[in-house]
Amino acid sequence: VVPQQNNWDIPYINSWDELEIVTWNVKQFPINSTTIVDVEEIISDLLPDIINFQEVSNLEEKIILAEMLPSYEFIFPEEDGWFGLDIAFRRDCINLIDYSLLFESYGYEFAWRYPISANFVWSCGNSFIEFEMINVHFKCCDDGFNRRLVASEILSSYINDQTNNNI
C-alpha cells in the first residue's frame, strides 16, 4: 500500500499476529477537495486490518477511495443511503463470510443508520479467528441521549442473544 501523498508522519499500527480494527467517523465525507487523498494516506500509514466508517455518504467518492486502496475490499450496503456506514477490510488477511443490516424496524432509535453486521475470518499463518463485527453510529444531538440509550439496549440484547446461543 503506497499513498499518493505523504504529508504526515503517522505511526504504523499493523502487527501480523494481531487483529487491528479502526472505527472512523469521517464526518460528511468528503468534506473538502483533499479529503480523499488525506484519508487514503492515513489508511496507508496505519494499515489496519478492518476499518468501520461512518458518514461516508457520496457513492462516487467512496468508489474513488476504494480504487485508491486496492489492498482493501469495501462493503457499501446499497440500503444505507446518505449516512454511509461502510466497512473496508484487507484482502490478504481477512475473508468476508457475509454481512447484513441489523434492526431495520428500529430506524428512529438508530437515527436511520442501520448497523452493519459482518462475519469475518482473520487469518495469519496458522492462527485464525472467526468473528462477527458490528459497525454502529448513534444519534449525537437533540434527543440523541434517549435514542442512544434505547439503541444501546437493543444492541446489548442482540449481543447477549448471539453469545448465549453460541452464534
For position 149, what pLDDT does the model report? 93
Bridge partners for 51 per DSSP: 22, 88
Q: What are phi and psi of 159, to 5 degrees?
A: -65, -45
Of 57, 58, 131, give the one whose Cα is nearest residue 89. Answer: 131
- Provide the grid cell at 44: 496507508
Q: Using 50, 70 and 90 to split pLDDT, how confident is the model at 167? A: low
Q: How far apart are CA 94 and CA 92, in angstroms?
A: 6
Do 9 and 38 form a contact (C-beta atoms < 8 A)?
A: no
Q: How far apart are CA 128 and CA 12, in angstroms?
A: 22
How large is the average pLDDT for residues 151-155? 96
Higher pLDDT, 151 or 80: 151
For position 80, what pLDDT does the model report? 52
How large is the average pLDDT for residues 97-102? 95
What is the reported pTM? 0.87
For position 35, what pLDDT does the model report? 87
**Strand runs labelled E in 9-153:** 21-29, 50-56, 72-75, 86-90, 94-101, 116-124, 127-135
Q: Mean pLDDT check: name the lowest of 105-114, 136-145, 152-161.
A: 136-145
For position 81, what pLDDT does the model report? 55
Cβ-based neighbour number of residue 148 at 10 Å: 16
For position 83, what pLDDT does the model report? 62
Residue 91 identity = R
